[in-house]
Amino acid sequence: MEIVYVYTKKRSEFGRQCNFSDKPAELHVDILPDPSLTDNFIDRDPCDVAIQCTQEMSEHEVNTERFDCEPCGINHVEGGWPKDVNSQEMEQTIRYRKKVEKDENYVNTLMQLGSHMEHCIRQNNTIDIYQEYFEEEEIVEEMEGQPSAKTVNVFRDPNEVKRTATSLSWHPDGSCKLAVAYSSMEFQKVTKDMSYDSYIWDLENTNKPEMTLKPVSPLVCLEYNPKDSHILIGGSYNGQIAYWDTRKGSQPVEMSAVEHSHRDPVYKVIWLQSKTGTDSFSASTDGQVLWWDIRKMSEPTERLVLDPSKKGNLDNALGAFSLEFETTMPTKFMVGTEQGVVVSCNRKAKTPAEKIVCTYSGHYGPIYALQRNPFFPKNFLTVADWTARIWSEDIRDSSIMWTKYHMAYLSDGCWSPARPSVFFTVKMDGTLDIWDFLFKQNDPTLSLKVCDEALYSLRVQDNGRFLGCGSQLGTATLLEISSGLCTLQKNEKALATAMFERETKREKILEACHREMRLKERSRSEQSKEDEAKDGEAEESAEELVACAEREFYEVVEAEMKKRGKDDKKEKEKYERKLGKTVSNENIFMFTDYLNTSSQEF
């Protein structure tokens, strides 16, 4: 309802001055209460009303002026002599002192204090209460039960299509990050939707990788730069090398030029020891080892062709599968090849022919891992085919120690950086073996089944406590091994040295024996050749050799048949005696056939 008051005014009166006059009150609007409206309301009984009865206060902040404190020490020079005593004058001070000493209080107090003091002095002289017991004896820690390893974390490939985790690399400063390279090593199994990415995982977070590396082609191997923990170098499936800076993002900072790179997947890339910290080298099955400076990736700084005939012929070259470089021996490096041969090379040689120093052969398959023992650089471990072998640099013909032949292919291995006698291997059936050859030589000390699929790569962290292994389905498992396997035992170095020396000596002796035998053979064959020449016989031609062989063959066959005939007769006589009648010849043949087949079954 609108309350409106209407009044009228003549147009001619607009704008006139206002004359006000008093008027008695007029009632304009009177709205009476309408009881029917109460139906729209509900009575509220009781009503809650909050009332506060407090003192009103106001807040006010005051900051006092800063009070400057300064700590200072006092160097006490001379006691608080009373005013009348001059501290410099000896007589006055002595007199004062004598006065004090006469005081009765002084005597009593001092007697009391003296007795107390004597007690403590005597106490000190009797027992040294702070004596360190058993100070010289070192705390001997018992071997904590069984060696064990437990899985700490599992990092799965986040992509749908799983690729193999082919290489792992630990972050150089402590165990916080792990870089894993993923690629599919099976021939022509790469599908369109298979991603090329490799990841850097933070060990705490298994759900999502910390960083993704996006190469042009999937990475087969990946290494952190030990000098600069932000730089990583990776070798890819198409033969190119790329390097990343984790501060700069997921794309590689630079890639090597395709024309100058490898022509096969790069299986191993290692950082070198150099002043600039930018040198690295890579190996691939195309037979080349290339040196790179990451500042200039357009072409390699050096190239070596692994041609055992030392001619630099690429067709003859051995395909390289693994590389080894020890920073304590910067001029030497070793390459493990597809053909099962380890080639030891010298980097500082003048001509390419001299670069290849020597070869060690003894494996039947490609050498997947090659590493020098961090405590004994003269000995190195190779992992290939179904065995792992330990070699000494001096013995070329065979390894000094080797494991038994396993049921599954060994795919990777490495030494423990904490103990000289411990090394790890992984197999294609998904097991991880920890070997301690001072404890047991025939079997691994600990054998763990990590996963159901094949394990392809393995890397131990620098403290020897954690290790990561990568599997065929891209799962990287982080394991922690028990402290007994990663703390140096007493005498371990001495025992390991003794063992290596003993095995090396044995091999040397064997080698010497073989050499002697060979020499004897050679001299004997030379002797016999001379004799033949004396007889006047010319060199036997090929046909004569064949005829001779044929003759010998038929002689042997006839002798065998005669022997069989005699046996058959004996059998026949026995059978006849059994049956009590003669058996015809045809039956003999069937009978002998039956005998032959039955003996074959056995």
Report the nearest approach of another protein to the CB of residue 68 (Å): 23
Site size toward another protein (CB under 8 A) is 35
Name the nearest CA neighbour of 292 among 270, 263, 265, 310: 270
Q: Does 80 bind another protein (CB under 8 A)?
A: yes
Query: x/- binding map, residues 344-383, to another protein, per CB under 8 A?
Result: ----------------------------------------
Q: Does 96 bind another protein (CB under 8 A)?
A: yes
Residues 414-433 that bind another protein (CB under 8 A): none
Pick between residue 112 and residue 587 the one whose CB is nearest to another protein: 112
Pick between residue 95 and residue 248 the one whose CB is nearest to another protein: 95
Report the nearest approach of another protein to the CB of residue 109 (Å): 5
What is each CA distance from 447 to 99, 148, 379, 429, in whole angstroms?
89, 9, 24, 12
Report the nearest approach of another protein to the CB of residue 135 (Å): 12
Name the nearest CA neighbour of 203 among 468, 473, 451: 468
Pick between residue 94 and residue 258 the one whose CB is nearest to another protein: 94
Helix (H, G, I), strand (E, B) or coil at 13: helix
Name the nearest CA neighbour of 394 among 504, 515, 509, 503: 504
**SS3 per-residue string spanning 62-116:** CCCCCCCCCCCCCCCCCCCCCCCCCCCCHHHHHHHHHHHHHCHHHHHHHHHHHHH
Q: Where is 367: in which H helix or E strand?
A: strand 367-372
Q: Does 88 bind another protein (CB under 8 A)?
A: no
Q: Does 249 bind another protein (CB under 8 A)?
A: no
Report the nearest approach of another protein to the CB of residue 94 (Å): 11
Residues 97-126 that bind another protein (CB under 8 A): 97, 100-101, 105-107, 109-118, 120-122, 124-126
Measured CA angle at 196 (ends 194, 197), to 5 deg: 120
Spatial separation of the C-alpha atoms in residues 43 and 498, rounded to whole Å:
103
Spatial separation of the C-alpha atoms in residues 336 and 561, rounded to whole Å:
53
Report the nearest approach of another protein to the CB of residue 114 (Å): 4
Joined tokens for residue 344: 């030891």
Helix (H, G, I), strand (E, B) or coil at 541: coil
**Strand order across the beta sheet in which 149-155 lies:** 149-155, 476-481, 466-471, 455-460
Residues 526-555 that bind another protein (CB under 8 A): none
Kindly indicate which of the ranges 68-76, 204-212, 254-262, 565-573 contains the residues binding another protein, using the contact rule CB under 8 A: 68-76
Q: Does 94 bind another protein (CB under 8 A)?
A: no
Pick between residue 85 and residue 211 the one whose CB is nearest to another protein: 85
Name the nearest CA neighbour of 336 among 377, 415, 391, 295: 391
Query: x/- binding map, residues 24-63, to another protein, per CB under 8 A?
Result: ----------------------------------------
Q: Does 89 bind another protein (CB under 8 A)?
A: no
Residues contacting 210, CB < 8 A, separation 6+: 177, 199, 200, 201, 202
Pick between residue 113 and residue 513 the one whose CB is nearest to another protein: 113
Pick between residue 118 and residue 567 the one whose CB is nearest to another protein: 118
**Could you list the residues that contact another protein (CB under 8 A)?**
74-82, 96-97, 100-101, 105-107, 109-118, 120-122, 124-128, 130
